[in-house]
């Protein structure tokens, strides 16, 4: 079997930015190691330097991926039984999920590990509110806490837990960076990202979504195009961005600019 020579393609990058508003209290849990002693049962993840709650990019990316897998009815494999986690991974580098979110899997025929690099980077999201607005009188910086009862189904004993939440009204800046590699897949990839954001608005981010936690809304979504020529020449006038109220650069403008200038 002859090895296909690897050829990297790069058309440029598209940055997608905007605000994510927390509509109902959101809980993205911190790992046990980072929990302060004497704290609440189930705290939220915080930036260790500022102590402000933040949203790890991996939490948003994982959610966008799982919602997309479901919507596109992809085959899932179990990667963990406790907790039960099923994800889609494959070795097809044109798979609409794996090319966007990345994949790492052993090829069933050759037993080689195949990695499909993710075209999408999801940055950590930082709180952008006026901090005072969120300083609710709970003794916890910028968050609220809520008691949730889980009932033991056998003994009927209640097991109340304090769950810390980022309150409704919190606003986070989000930033996604998409690597444009294949002209033929560019428009579909962008449509898939938009689909995932819309699906998330009808779903929940973080824990306890079925109890009403974690409804979010995206606002002020903007697209900025950085064509390959910009990186090579350093010429900032090549950046495709909204320069004024009148001159609106749409994502369609960026896509057609990326796909039309291949040989320019």
Q: Give the residues lining the site for Zn ion (CB under 5 A).
A: 90, 95, 97-98
Number of H helices, E strands in the chain: 5, 12
Least spacing, CB of residue 209 vs Zn ion, in Å: 25
Q: Shortest approach of Zn ion to residue 115 CB, angstroms?
A: 12
Smaller CB separation from Zn ion, 97 or 176 = 97
Please identify, using beta-carbon distances, which residue of 44 and 97 lies nearer to Zn ion: 97
At 131, give phi and psi (nearest 5°).
-60, -30
Supply angle C-alpha 118, 124, 125, rounded to 5: 130
The minimum distance between CB 194 and Zn ion, in angstroms, equals: 19
* CB contact at 8 A, 25 and 170: no
Nearer to Zn ion, 77 or 168 (CB): 77
CB atoms within 10 A of CB 250: 11
CB-closest chain residue to Zn ion? 95
- To Zn ion, the closest distance from the beta carbon of 179 in angstroms equals 17
> What is d(CA 86, CA 75) in angstroms, rounded to the nearest whole number?
9
Query: Which of residues 40 and 90 has its CB atom nearest to Zn ion in the complex?
Result: 90
Strands 54-55 and 125-127: antiparallel
């Amino acid at each position: 079997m002859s090895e296909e020579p690897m050829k990297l393609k790069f058309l440029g990058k598209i940055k997608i930015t905007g605000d994510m508003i927390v509509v109902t209290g959101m809980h993205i849990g911190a790992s046990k190691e980072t929990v302060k002693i004497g704290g609440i049962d189930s705290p939220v993840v915080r930036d260790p330097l500022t102590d402000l709650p933040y949203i790890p990019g991996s939490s948003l990316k994982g959610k966008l991926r799982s919602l997309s897998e479901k919507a596109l009815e992809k085959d899932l494999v179990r990667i963990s039984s406790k907790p039960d986690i099923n994800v889609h991974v494959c070795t097809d580098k044109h798979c609409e999920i794996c090319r966007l979110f990345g994949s790492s899997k052993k090829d069933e025929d050759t037993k080689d590990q195949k990695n499909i690099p993710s075209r999408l980077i999801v940055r950590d999201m930082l709180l952008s509110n006026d901090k005072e607005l969120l300083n609710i009188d709970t003794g916890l910086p910028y968050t609220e806490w809520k008691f949730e009862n889980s009932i033991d189904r056998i003994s009927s004993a209640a097991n109340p837990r304090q769950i810390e939440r980022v309150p409704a009204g919190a606003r986070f800046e989000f930033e996604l960076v998409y690597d444009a590699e294949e002209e033929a897949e560019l428009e579909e990839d962008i449509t898939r990202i938009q689909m995932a954001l819309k699906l998330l608005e009808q779903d929940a981010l973080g824990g306890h979504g079925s109890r009403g936690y974690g409804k979010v809304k995206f606002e002020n979504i903007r697209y900025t195009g950085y064509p390959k020529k910009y990186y090579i020449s350093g010429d900032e006038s090549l950046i495709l961005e909204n320069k004024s109220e009148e001159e609106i650069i749409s994502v369609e403008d960026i896509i057609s600019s990326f796909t039309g200038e291949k040989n320019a």
